[in-house]
Amino acid sequence: MSIHVHVRDQPSVSSIRSKNIYNDQLNSQSTHVHLVKRNRYCRHRSHKLIRKEIQSNILDSNQNQATNNTTKPIIFQKDRNSDSNTLSTLYHQNESDKSFISRMKNAKHPTSVISILQCCNLSFYSNQNSKHYKDNSTKETIESKITNHSEQSNEWPDWITFQNGHRQKDDRNKKNKFSQQRIIISVVTGLVLIIAIAITLGILLTRSKATINTMSMLRWNPSAITIAGSTGQKGNASNLLNVPFGLTLDSSTTLYIADGFNNRVQKYLRDESFGVTVAGQVDGSSNSTSSYLNFPSDVAVDSDGNIYVTDTFNYRVQLWTSGSSSGTLAAGTGISGSTNNTLSIVYGIARDSSSGTLYISDTGNHRIMRYLSGASSGTVIAGGNGAGLSITQLSNPIGLCFDSSTNSLLIANYGANNIVRWIIGSQNWTLVAGNINGLSGSTSNKLNQPTDVTIDPMGNIYVVDMGNNRVQFFSYDQSNGTTIAGVTNSNGNTSILLNNPYSITLDNQLNLYVADTYNHRIQKFIRF
């Protein structure tokens, strides 16, 4: 006989556990119990509990059959004629208790069977299609006993309450999951904020420490060596200078000097004491024609050896290509003016090596002009609002330096006694060194008629403080300077003194080159 157990809305689980039902079936030769999962809310019970219940029923049955000396062990196996969720329980004669217990321990219960046994409502019916089906009388007996037992049982399940409870549990699980997600998000956000704060503090502390230690890392010998010209001696010979103003170095450390009163540009190879004239006339004569200069005050050089010269009193900038004997107009017209294509008393020049753009100190017009490569007319990039001390004005700007890292200009604002930074495209400057109100002085935070400025790869700034006869060093983002060349308010011609220095440049070792203008020489302060 084959019996199926299905989820119904009638008998309780206690009816299945009735010993009378099992006892009636134990006497049959071969009885199959098919358990089929029907209810999604069934809960699992442990394998151990199921085995104990079945063992208990079998043992009770054996006690009722005193005349029978053999046991009827249970073997759990898949029924080949039913689906995968059906478990066949076969009762066979002539098996020992020991064999039964051993097989029970090794039995594998499908999840569907465990779920069915935990359901609150189950009912039996016979499977007439099973090949183990024997007769209808057993079916009627079982159904009758189940019905009688279920009438006596008070354990009818409240399915609405059960389902509502299940939904409430799902809602609680969702809320708990949502709360866990919120906690995780909060923790992650907090960690990100902590890391960001730690990084910021680390950068600030590192920068502060670097600022404190900059001077211990960068030091220069206070006693300079003369590398061009002769101390206190002026002239137009190849080894002499006459009031040198601007200077610059190329990538091979070749030195170019704007030899002001000699109206020429001199080129000094490294470790050479004699210069070669590369612009203007060797004898120092002046004129306004293309092969002459009239008081050159600054010079810039490109990677091809072409030089750009501020021809101050010819109101122009001349381009002298390498090896040429005359120059061509790079900016200005040769006539003083304040339009976009004219200049008035030009003193300083800087070049953006990446684009070839020229930045020119149009000192007489209190502005900085920008000339794109090959352009015949410029654009006002800083100042141009008349002489003054406001943040939109400049006052007789002279030296300047292009800082590619910030796309800005550092300007020696001579008439305002300060150094300012003007970001390209901005409408005003920010103070870098000196007094914002234009007050002069000789203390560490003041300047007196600064004429030139440059910057190193670390962002430190070097200023020629001409009126104080010194060169000041300003660590990155600091407003108090340190004297690294010359002696404050002392002029002279010894190796440690300067006399109205005008311009400055650095080589790739950060050795310092200073145009000691009224000593008619170029001084080199070696870094150590």
Q: What one-character-per-residue DSSP string does 461-509 give?
A: EEEEEGGGTEEEEE-TT-S--EEEEEBTTBB-SSTT-BSS---EEE-TT
Give the lowest-confidence range in 69-83, 240-254, 333-347: 69-83
Domain-located, residue 364: yes
**Which of 95, 96, 115 is CA-nearest to residue 47?**
115
Residues 6+ apart with CB under 8 A from 195: none
The DSSP call for residue 350 is E
Domain-located, residue 500: yes
Apex 85 CA angle, 81 and 90, nearest 5: 55
More confident residue, 89 or 453: 453
Pairing of strands 225-229, 316-320: unpaired
Give the whole-number percent of the chain exceeding pLDDT 70: 64
How far from chain centre, in Å, is Cα 150? Answer: 73
- Beta-bridged to residue 393, according to DSSP, are none
Average pLDDT over residues 438-444: 97
Q: pLDDT tens, 402-436?
A: 999 999 999 999 999 999 999 999 999 999 999 99
More confident residue, 448 or 26: 448
Residue 146 has pLDDT above 50, yes or no: no
Q: How many residues does the chain have?
A: 528
What pLDDT is recorded for position 40? 41
What pLDDT is recorded for position 30? 38
**Which of 290, 338, 294 is CA-nearest to residue 314?**
294
Average pLDDT over residues 5-33: 42
Residue 492 has pLDDT above 80, yes or no: yes
What pLDDT is recorded for position 9? 40
**Quick one: pLDDT band at residue 43, thresholds 50, 70, 90?**
very low
**Which of 418, 406, 334, 408 is CA-nearest to residue 368?**
408
Compute how many other C-beta atoms are within 10 angstroms of the C-beta atom of residue 471.
25
Domain-located, residue 98: no
Give the lowest-confidence range in 180-184, 284-288, 512-516: 180-184
Q: pLDDT tens, 358-416?
A: 999 999 999 999 999 999 999 999 999 999 999 999 999 999 999 999 999 999 999 99
Compute how many other C-beta atoms are within 10 angstroms of the C-beta atom of residue 125.
15
Give the lowest-confidence range in 96-100, 240-244, 469-473: 96-100
In the chain, how many domains are there? Answer: 1
- 245 token code pair: 């103003």
Residue 469 has pLDDT above 50, yes or no: yes
Question: Where would I find the H helices in 218-318?
Answer: none
**Quick one: pLDDT band at residue 198, thresholds 50, 70, 90?**
confident
Domain containing 478 equals 225-525
The DSSP call for residue 64 is H
Contact 440/456 with Cβ under 8 angstroms?
no
- Beta-bridged to residue 422, according to DSSP, are 409
Domain-located, residue 120: no
Average pLDDT over residues 3-10: 41
Contact 247/268 with Cβ under 8 angstroms?
no
| 179: region left, alpha or beta (phi > 0 left; psi from -120 to 50 alpha) | alpha
Residues 6+ apart with CB under 8 A from 123: 5, 6, 7, 8, 10, 11, 146
What pLDDT is recorded for position 180? 72
**Quick one: pLDDT band at residue 342, thresholds 50, 70, 90?**
very high
Measure the CA–CA gap between 53 and 528, rounded to whole angstroms.
95
What pLDDT is recorded for position 176? 66
**Quick one: pLDDT band at residue 21, thresholds 50, 70, 90?**
very low
The CATH number of the domain holding residue 300 is 2.120.10.30
Contact 232/503 with Cβ under 8 angstroms?
no
Residue 200 has pLDDT above 90, yes or no: no
Average pLDDT, the chain: 78
**Which strands form 512-516's sheet, in the order they lie side by side?**
225-229, 521-525, 512-516, 504-506
Domain-located, residue 100: no
Average pLDDT over residues 231-258: 96
Between the alpha carbon of residue 90 and those of residues 15, 31, 83, 179, the distances in Å are 21, 6, 17, 50
Measure the CA–CA gap between 118 and 502, rounded to whole angstroms.
100
**Which of 475, 464, 334 is CA-nearest to residue 398?**
464
**Quick one: pLDDT band at residue 163, thresholds 50, 70, 90?**
low
More confident residue, 157 or 341: 341
Measure the CA–CA gap between 335 and 337, rounded to whole angstroms.
6
Domain-located, residue 76: no
**Quick one: pLDDT band at residue 172, thresholds 50, 70, 90?**
low
Measure the CA–CA gap between 267 and 257, rounded to whole angstroms.
7
Give the lowest-confidence range in 19-33, 96-110, 218-232: 19-33
Average pLDDT over residues 94-114: 47
Domain-located, residue 445: yes
More confident residue, 172 or 32: 172
Measure the CA–CA gap between 149 and 83, rounded to whole angstroms.
30
Amino acid letter, residue 407: N
Q: Say if pTM beats, i.e. exceeds, 0.75.
A: no
What's the alpha-carbon Rg for the chain, to the nearest Å?
51
**Quick one: pLDDT band at residue 185, thresholds 50, 70, 90?**
confident
Domain-located, residue 487: yes
Q: Burial, 333: exposed, middle or buried (Cβ in 10 Å; 0-12, 13-18, 19+)?
A: middle
What pLDDT is recorded for position 395? 98
